[in-house]
Every structure is written in C-alpha cells, then in structure tokens.
Chains A and B, each alone.
Chain A
Amino acid sequence: MSKSQKEMMEEALKQLRVFVESIKKSTGLPIVPDQKSGAALWYDQREITNKYLVSVDRIRPFYDGLMDGKLMATKCKHCGQLYFPPQVDCPKCRKSDVEWVELSGEGELVTYTVINIKPASFAHYPDYTVGIARLKEGINVTAWVRGEPEKLRIGMRVKIEVVRRKPEGYLTYEIVPAE
C-alpha cells in the first residue's frame, strides 16, 4: 500500500516549510518561487487553526440515544412532523414542543459514493463510502456505508447501526447492508 493521502500532504507541506526556512535564512525574506510558474510567493508567517465549539445542548437526548445504541429523531407534538437531523423547534407550528422518538433504523439505500480524494481533516482514513438511506418512517439519513462498495446497489435493504468511530473514538452511526 502506498502512502496515505495524509502522509503525502504532510510531506509536501513540510518540504515547502523547510525550503522557505532555508531561503529566509539567506535572504531574510519568506519569499519563494512557485514550482510551476516561478512567480514570487510570500509564505504566510502567521497561522490559524479552527476548532469550533458547537452547542448541542437542546439536542442532548440524541447523544444520550447514541450512548444506548439508538438513533433518535424529534417529532412535533402538535403537527406530528418528524425531524432528522433532530431539531427542537418546529418552524411550521412555531412551537418548541417535541417528543424524542427512536428510529427503526430500517430502510433502503437511495444513493452512494466513494470518497477517493479526501478533505484535509479526513486524509487519515482509507477511501470511505458515503450513502443516503431512506428509512421506513420516511426520513433520510446520510452516513458512511459499511462494506465493499462493489456489493452495494441502489434500493438494497440497509439498517442503521450506532458505532464508535476510529481512530477518534466517538459515537456515531453507520449504514449497514442488510441483505
């Protein structure tokens, strides 16, 4: 197996950094020529990283559900509208009175893809399959699909399973072929 996308990415960035540092040492400036065009590029001397803190306070029961191995949705007590991803405000009724209901997790595969070129923060994974499943309750769930992509077909029966995502080690859910 060749290098992972993450290793290749980090190697390229490191090479650039080392190159810039050597240039900066001799010229006093972090300006390097673009490899292809030769255009002069200033190498940013500042860096920013983003790690957001996102409120899940009002949908906490969804996460309690995951801890029990359940996939939970919300249902408006007034109009009966089912929400997944769960939301506690019903814009139709303008009320915030929902009940938490467990989804069956049973449905069929609507569509899928295999992600070959990954975002930077997913570069440490091997190629992964993402699909959308339509559950028998009539709502859709986007998630990774377990197993060989060659064996998947649109319309096949699937179920949702709560899993612990590696290597991060947090609870999430997956689409699993049920045929």
Chain B
Amino acid sequence: MGRQVAIVGVGHSKFGTRHDVNMAELAWESIRQALDDAGVGQEDIEYFVVSNAGGWSSEPLPAVVIGEYAGLNPKGTVRVEAACASGSAALKLAHDIVASGQADIVLAVGIEKMNESPTPTVVEYIGRAGNFFWEFQNFGLTFPGYYALYATAYMHRYGATEEDLCRVAVKNHYYGARNPKAQFQREITVEACMGSRYVAWPLKLFDCSPITDGSAAVIVASEEIARKLTDTPVWIRAIGAASDTSNLSKRTDFTSLRAAVEAARMAYKKAGIDPENPVKHIDVAEVHDCFTIAEILAYEDLGFARRGEGVKLVREEQTYIGGLIPVNLSGGLKAKGHPIAATGVSMAAELARQLRQEVEKERQAPINKGVALAHNVGGTGHYAYVTILSLEKPSK
C-alpha cells in the first residue's frame, strides 16, 4: 500500500466574510502557518495541491495565483475539485503522491473566496452542483433544497422533528463560540433556531452552514522526513473515497448517503476499525454538517448510531465532550463556516491539532486512543471522503 504518510504541519485562516483580504492573501494566511508549524521552507515543498471550487470568485486559476504569491514557484501544482469534499480530495492526492514515493513533502491548501459574488449568485452556483441539466435547469433546486429532500424523508420515517435538527445547530454553535477561527462565535438556542425563517422547508436559516471565505493548509511527509521534523507526526491511517449519482432521482433512499457509507466502510477496513462499533476506536470526529440533517445522517452512515437512532444521539447530547463521541468541536461547518473547498483541509488541520491536544481547552477532546475521523461530503452525497488520522503509526 506504499509508504506511511504523516501530517507534519497545519495552518488555518480565520473563517468568515473576509473582505479584508484577497484570495492569495487568504491562502497565505494558512500556508504560512503550516510552513512555520512544520519547520520547512517553500524550497522543501516538492509539490502543492490546491482545492478550490470557485465560480463565485474572480481567479479561475487559483493554484498558480496562490503559488506565485506564496513563493512556491516553480514547484508543480494542480487544482482539484470534489465540490464540498475538494479539501479531502486535495489531502488524498497529497497523501498518494508521498505514499507512492514520488515526493517526500507535499502541501495541500484549500481555499474559497465565496463573498466575491452576491448571495443569490452563490446560491445559484451551489444549486447547480448536482445535475445541472436535469435537476437544476428546470426545477431550481438549491443546496439547502437537496438536503431538505433528505430531511423530509428522514423526519417522516423516523419521527425526527425540526427541534431535533436545531439541537445540532445549538451544539455546533456552542463549540464555535469557543473557536477563535470560527465564523460564528456565539451560542444560539433552540428557540432562536426555531424562529429563523425557512430557506428550504423543513430547513431554516439556522439549520444551514453559512457562505464563508477561508483557507486551510496541511503539509504531509514521508515517515523518514516526518520523524526528522516533529515528535508528534499525525499519521494518515486511511482514506476512503466514494461517489454517487449526480441525479438525486437515481437514488433509492433519502435517509442515508450511500457514498458516505461506502467511504466509511473502506476507511474502517484499511484502518482496522470495527464497523459495528467504530466509536470505541475514535476519540473525536469532524463530520460534514453543511446542514443539521447532514450531521444526523453522518452519525448513522459512519455507524456511530443505528439507522433511525442518529437523532437520539442529538437528543441525549451524546456528541458533546463527555458523551459517546464528541463531534464537530470546531463548531463544524455550521458555526466554523463552510468555505467549500477549504473544508476538508480544515477538518484535517483541526483534527491534527485535536490529536496533538493543542486546541482551546474548552473544546479539546480527551485523547485516549489517539485516533480521529473526518467525514467530508461533496455536493449532496455526490462525493464522500472518510479519513482516519492517528498518533500511532499504522502497523501496516
């Protein structure tokens, strides 16, 4: 399966409406931190992968714009796209390049500058991310709309309520309030969430992740280099990746994301995690809560809860610190923000810092097993990546 690969440096910009910086400056914010954190220079980076969805932002070739500004020329580069899972795709490519022995040190940077366009234009771009011709052109689905189709079906089958969905938002805002990098650093109540207006019934404004500018960067290295650079390499133990149909109409069930189930199966198998009881192996998880319903689906698709019981984890507050498994201690996409192609890299950066026990005390998970999980979904379950990170080197 190739060489072992470790994360040796991470960086994370402030997420939010970042009218104070342009795309290259925003990328540099996290790249600089990652270089400092790894203790390497640009000359040590052998290749860099840039994830960016774009469309709403002005630069069509973000990889070269960022490469020039960050002093990374003449290193090779590529821009990757897997919708909201682009960041995990960038990490996978960086990982695969090192694992296969083509390079020893690779940088993955995720960047999105969504606020360069007005909100209706951004809504348009994200709504087109599915099957443009058959499902957008005639029927004007939006991103909240796609997930609302899942929410309606899930609530109908399992008796979940809009209050239940709001409880996910309340938890993620609770931790977002403790994350200085988060877009929303204030707590909310179920009442405030229930009082927010509908965006795509049954989803309300407070069920939705915001439009966000942000960047995150991760430097990965081979075992030999990682050992020289740091005492706490964070090993990439497994990455599972899967896809599903572009047309939602081609799917048979709207209470689960098949691609996420498949990505989790692959990742658990490679990492030696019991798929029947994964939580016993994992200290902390970041899951793709682009909408509150998506976090509940994630619990079930990842096997944290049985089918129909993800909502119970929410009601019983089992995904706060001290519960069955703490989830989205960064605030998640919901409160930390969701700069589309930066999100996957942000998850990896956050979890590396969780495992190194470097995050703010109030949102630091107890690290006993030394294992963390990132669940990153692109589109409406169109792409899915599940990444397992670990303090212990994989036994192979």
A residues near B (Cβ < 8 Å) are 5, 9, 12-13, 34, 36-37, 39, 41, 44, 54, 84-85, 110-123, 125, 128, 130-132, 139-144, 149, 154, 165, 172
Contact = CB atoms under 8 A, between A and B. Distances in A.
Contacts of B127: 119
A144 B254 contact: no
B17 A37 contact: yes
Given A34-B19, A54-B133, A118-B120, 9 more contacts: A37-B17, A110-B153, A111-B153, A116-B197, A116-B201, A117-B200, A142-B139, A143-B139, A144-B139
Interface in B233-251: 247-251
Interface string B102-124: 00000000000000001011011
Interface in B185-206: 197-203
Chain A at the B interface: SS class: mixed
A54 B133 CA distance: 8
Contact of B149 (A39, A111, A125): A111
B135 A117 contact: no
Interface in B302-340: none
Interface in B51-79: 58
Nearest to A8: B120
Contacts, number: 116
10 contacts: A5-B120, A113-B203, A116-B201, A117-B142, A117-B144, A121-B140, A123-B120, A140-B249, A142-B249, A154-B152
A113 B201 contact: yes
User: 3 closest Cβ contacts across the A-B interface?
Assistant: A113-B148, A122-B140, A119-B124
Contact of A114 (B17, B131, B198, B254): B198
A15 to B, nearest CB: 12
A120 B124 CA distance: 6
Contacts of B141: 115, 130, 142
Interface of B: 17, 19-20, 58, 118, 120-121, 123-124, 127-128, 131, 133-136, 138-142, 144-145, 148-153, 156, 197-203, 247-251, 254
Contacts of B153: 110-111, 154
Contacts of A123: 120
B57 to A, nearest CB: 11
B9 to A, nearest CB: 29
Identify the interface centre among B131, B140, B141: most chain A CB within 10 Å of its CB: B140
Nearest to A16: B118
Contacts of B120: 5, 9, 118-120, 123
B19 A140 contact: no
Nearest to A9: B120
A39 B20 contact: yes
A41 B19 contact: yes
B118 A12 contact: yes
Contacts of A34: 19
Nearest to B143: A119
Contact of B156 (A41, A120, A128, A154): A154
Contacts of B121: 120
